[in-house]
């Protein structure tokens, strides 16, 4: 049976192997999962090194505390950790219930994501004019649970804000439409045309959510949630009701384990590893750059990092410092980005599609764009497929259906427009 410290270090090794597996062949590339895994180690690499370098009697206790701290971010984080290492399900505490509404630093209620029930749909319709909302952004990507869609609907408010909005130049201006951020999982039907993006109706049934967009667009999913990302939500009917029941004290996370005093070489090695994970995470935050991020090279540099930390910490005195200095030298050199391959005509498998309508956000204009990631075959039939990307600014046409993500597609790209039959058209 593994000790808590071995489990902690093993989780790092498993994380790196999982990221590499997701990037080895572009047909299984999952930018969101890569980002979620890499994000684990942003605040947990130093605790791992600290536990490994602690005196022997304290190592297991500090490693256990580190694992509990890691899982304290919620049920999604716990599920991800258990997915990486099923043995953790027996030792990790149950995820604490998360509030759907919390308070910001000014004490105002602010919403999280709500499961899209009939009651939530009714509440949205009372506070926001869905019928006159406009799709601002649509992102589609395949996942292990089926096709996932993220959709932002910019909607007029039905309630009147108590104050105007002060712009950057100090003048008072009307509030822009409120963005409602929908997430749909297990999407079985998608029909979207950017020219027909005004208006949304949501129908909840026992089978899931059916969404009508514009005159002829539609979306059907097994599960759905919505995040009313509105800075004025506290003035809405739903917000005022939540204000009566939401505690004023903020929920406290478990206290982080005190990181022992690390030597310069130990701290430098940990920070170099965090930097490598941060570069891997870029594929999630900047999908337009994903095809140029050398994920596999990064994983080769990080390979067996958890085991390497344990091996270095097992040494004593000057030998330990030398070992960590060597790890820092290995991890400090981030593989350089490469020019991303452009999408060319030929066989392809879509891995990510995003459409953004031109809009202003906090007085900053955002140009419309369409970003596509696709897996393309290598030069040899047995070679892994590689990622290719395309970003089209201010597209004049964008249309997509769920069948664009089916296997065996053929992309036609002639520089003026990109097309997969009649299931994806961008120009």
The domain ranges of the chain are 4-95+294-331, 111-243, 346-426
Cα 358 to Cα 355: distance, rounded to the nearest angstrom: 10
- Give the end-to-end CA distance of the chain in Å, rounded to a whole number: 57
Cβ contacts of 236 within 8 Å, gap of 6 or more = 127, 157, 159, 228, 230
* pLDDT for 50: 95
8 Å CB contact between 45 and 270 = yes
The per-residue pLDDT for 253 is 64
Q: Say what the pLDDT of residue 254 is.
A: 66
Instruction: Give me the average pLDDT of each 10-residue run along the chain (427 residues).
Output: 94 98 96 96 95 93 93 92 96 86 92 94 97 97 91 97 84 90 96 97 86 96 96 97 91 65 95 97 92 96 98 97 98 92 95 94 83 93 93 95 95 91 95
Long-range contacts of 60-65 (CB under 8 A, 24+ apart): 60/3, 60/4, 60/5, 61/4, 62/257, 62/260, 63/3, 63/4, 63/5, 63/7, 63/8, 64/4, 64/91, 65/257
389, 371 contact by CB (below 8 A): yes
Give the pLDDT score at 294: 96
Give me the pLDDT at residue 73, please: 86
Q: Are 179 and 229 in contact (CB under 8 A)?
A: yes
Chain mean position to CA 279: 14
pTM (2 decimals)? 0.92
Query: How far is Cα 123 from Cα 75, in angstroms, rounded to an integer?
Result: 26
């Amino acid at each position: 049976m593994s000790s808590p410290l071995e489990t902690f270090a093993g989780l790092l090794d498993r994380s790196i192997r999982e990221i590499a597996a997701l990037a080895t062949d572009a047909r299984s590339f999952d930018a969101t999962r890569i980002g979620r895994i890499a994000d684990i180690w942003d605040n947990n690499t130093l605790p791992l090194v600290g536990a490994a370098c602690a005196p022997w009697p304290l190592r297991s206790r500090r490693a256990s505390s580190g694992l509990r701290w890691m899982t304290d971010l919620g049920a999604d984080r716990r599920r991800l950790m258990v997915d990486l290492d099923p043995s953790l399900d027996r030792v990790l505490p149950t995820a604490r219930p998360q509030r759907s509404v919390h308070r910001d630093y000014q004490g105002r209620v602010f919403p999280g994501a709500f499961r899209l029930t009939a009651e939530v749909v009714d509440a949205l319709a009372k506070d926001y004019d869905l019928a006159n909302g406009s799709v601002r952004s649509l992102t589609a990507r395949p996942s292990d649970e089926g096709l996932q869609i993220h959709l932002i609907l910019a909607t007029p408010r039905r309630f009147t804000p108590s104050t105007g909005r002060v712009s950057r130049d100090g003048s008072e201006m009307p509030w822009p439409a409120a963005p409602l951020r929908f997430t749909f999982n297990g999407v079985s039907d998608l029909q979207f045309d950017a020219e027909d993006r005004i208006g949304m109706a949501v129908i909840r049934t026992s089978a899931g959510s059916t969404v009508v967009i514009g005159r002829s667009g539609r979306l059907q999913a097994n599960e759905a949630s919505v995040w009313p990302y509105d800075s004025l939500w506290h003035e809405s009917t739903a917000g005022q009701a939540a204000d009566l029941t939401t505690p004023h004290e903020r929920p406290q996370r478990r206290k982080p384990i005190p990181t022992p005093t690390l030597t310069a070489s130990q701290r430098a090695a940990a920070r170099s590893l965090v930097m490598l994970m941060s570069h891997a995470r870029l594929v999630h935050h900047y999908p337009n750059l994903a095809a140029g991020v050398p994920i596999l090279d990064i994983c080769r540099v990080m390979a067996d990092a958890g085991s390497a930390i344990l091996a270095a910490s097992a040494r004593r005195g000057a030998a330990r410092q030398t070992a960590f200095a060597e790890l820092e030298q290995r991890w400090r050199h981030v593989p350089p980005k490469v020019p991303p391959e452009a999408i060319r005509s030929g066989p392809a498998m879509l891995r990510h599609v995003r459409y953004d309508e031109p809009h202003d956000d906090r007085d900053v204009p955002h140009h419309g764009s369409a970003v596509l990631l696709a897996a393309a075959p290598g030069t040899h039939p047995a070679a892994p497929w590689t990622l290719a990307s395309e970003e089209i600014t201010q597209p004049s046409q964008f249309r997509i259906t769920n069948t664009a993500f089916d296997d065996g597609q053929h992309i036609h790209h002639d520089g003026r427009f990109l097309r997969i039959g009649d299931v994806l058209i961008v120009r």
